[in-house]
Structure 1
Amino acid sequence: MRIMIVEDEALLALELELEVEAAGHEVVGTAASRTAALDIVEQAEPQFAFVDVHLSDGPSGIEIGRHLAVTGIPFVFVTGNVKRIPDDFVGAIGAIEKPYTMNGLQNALTYLTARISGQEPVAPPPGLILAD
């Protein structure tokens, strides 16, 4: 799967990129701001995205999420404050709360990959909060 990472903390973005690639997926771009994220969506055509709520240009992750939902790209929020996500999750599958463990992230990625590819996943892993 072609995955975009929207995260303004460089170390977290790198760790997430390494985990995504270790799981056999391709990272098509990493963005720390709204503008960079929208450029990646247009140029790289990701199939999925991890989106932080608060980026280098403010809480613009919500706006990016809305854009992804309109364009039909599935995504999850990755955030230290789940309360910042609107009740409707702006179309996200769900959220992964920071801090997360690498094992928890791998389990969430396995679940999300199955769900996006149309397989019937058994149950969401504990670290993944699903939207209603």
Structure 2
Amino acid sequence: MNLMIVEDDAVTAMGMRDTLEAAGHKVVGVAGHVRAAARDARQGPDLALVDIGLLGHGDGAAFAATLWREHHVPVLFVTGGCPDRTAIRGWAVGCLSKPFSDAELVAAVDAVGRALKGEPPAAWPSALEPFEASEALLEARSA
């Protein structure tokens, strides 16, 4: 799966990239702020992993909405505090809470990837909170 990572902590971002690439995914961009992430969105990722709190580098939740609206890229939040589901209804598939292990990251991305292909995930990893909006998002993406 082609992924983009929007994370302002460089160590975390590079660790995520290395883990996901070792698991067979392609990371088309790693960005620490919204402007760089907007450029990466043009690479056509299948999924964006977005931190909500970008520490002065933009609002991850607002950027995630733009990703969906302008590029139809679904978002998996990877953040310390999961957002209110009503604020992101229709375009985010879920939230993976920090801290997480490499195995939890890969399992979450794999489960979301299967769902995006219309396949039922074997199981949602316990570290992943899927959003109810995911079903509507998946239907809209496949239409």
**TM-score normalized by structure 2?**
0.83
Conservation of the 8 A alpha-carbon contact between 2:4 and 2:47 = yes
**Cα separation, 1, equivalents of 2:58 and 2:128:** 21
**How many matched pairs?**
129
> Which residue in 1 is equivalent to 2:84?
86
Query: Are 1:131 and 2:137 matched, yes or no?
Result: no
SS of the residue corresponding to residue 57 of structure 1 reads coil
The alpha-carbon deviation at position 88 of structure 1 amounts to: 2.6
Conservation of the 8 A alpha-carbon contact between 2:34 and 2:58 = no
The alpha-carbon deviation at position 123 of structure 1 amounts to: 2.4
Within 5 Å, which residues of 2 pair with 1:23-102? Answer: 23-42=23-42, 44-58=43-57, 60-70=59-69, 71-82=71-82, 85-88=83-86, 90=88, 91-102=91-102
Cα-to-partner distance string for 1:19-76 (whole Å, 9 max, x where unaligned) = 110111111111111111111112x121111000011435510111101221211120
The alpha-carbon deviation at position 124 of structure 1 amounts to: 0.7
Runs of 4+, deviation exceeding 6 Å: none
Identity of aligned residues (%): 33
Conservation of the 8 A alpha-carbon contact between 2:8 and 2:57 = no
**Cα separation, 1, equivalents of 2:98 and 2:120:** 26
SS of the residue corresponding to residue 85 of structure 2 reads coil
CA RMSD of superposed structures (Å)? 1.4
